[in-house]
Amino acid sequence: MVSNQISVKPSRIARVLGLVAFLLVLASTGSQLMAYLTGRPHIFGLVPLFSVDFEQNIPTFFSAFLLLFAALLLAVITVLKRNQTASHVSHWTILSFGFLLMAADEVISYHESLGEPTSKLLGDASLGLFSWAILGIALIVVLAPFFVRFLLHLPAKTRLTFLMAAILYLGGSVGFELIGGAYAKSHGLQDFTYRMIVTIEESLEMAGLIIFIWALLKYIAENYTEVRFRFDGDHVDNSEARNAL
């Protein structure tokens, strides 16, 4: 039987994803700048197509792809850990499902529907759509103790990279979301400065996801060397592959 192999290099994948993210941020910033200078809100459809402040466009689907990619890698690690009866399988599983839900939410923006109920609950209607970020902070506080031992269990380099990715992603999705919400309350959603705040927010999110994906690929490469996917159902001897899914 002919053996077909695909060699995966984490650094190369990260560079490609980083380049795509940079070009999308550049296209978003450029289109919004042209709209601001010319007074035309859409610039022949370029702003809705590339602006990170819009939904259901190229940056949105790219962010959803990054989240889905991370969920897939986490699922692969979960299966490998389960085959080894290793510890912390539940943590990898929860992370995988969590990122899958985040990918779906990136497309349908379900979290924005939580804004109004949260505003009413907090007794501040002026928070509007941005009040969901407060729920995000509460969720982080609740989940943090659960993942502390998991993080300490990881190799030092992986742990630091995971934390760096989390800081970037949460700094954008929660931190700059709150900054943008505070700014929008006094200046509105159409202000150019607000659009740049959103651009920074989305840039940090994409950077955090790409670093996380790179860390996951490195973790798989350093701990499993080779992962073999078997589709024909035939028996594969353990000497032929280190790990099989």
pLDDT tens digits, residue range 203-212?
Answer: 999 999 999 9
136 burial (CB, 10 Å; 0-12 / 13-18 / 19+) is middle
Which pLDDT tens digit goes with each residue over 75-117? 999 999 887 766 789 999 999 999 999 999 888 877 666 656 6
Q: What pLDDT band is residue 65 in, cutting at 50, 70 and 90?
A: very high
**Residue of 112, 210, 134 whose CA lies nearest to 178:** 134
Q: What are 228's strand-pairing partners?
A: 244
Range of lowest pLDDT (4-13, 28-37, 104-113): 104-113
239 pLDDT band (50/70/90 cuts)? Answer: very low
For the chain, what percent of residues have pLDDT higher than 90?
A: 43
In angstroms, the Cα distances linking 167 to 64, 67, 162, 197, 212 are 19, 16, 9, 17, 11
How crowded is the C-beta side of 47, counted as CA atoms within 13 Å?
Answer: 17
Other CB atoms within a 10 A radius of the CB of residue 143 amount to 12
Distance CA 31, CA 203 (A): 16
What's the whole-number average pLDDT of the chain?
A: 83
pTM: 0.84
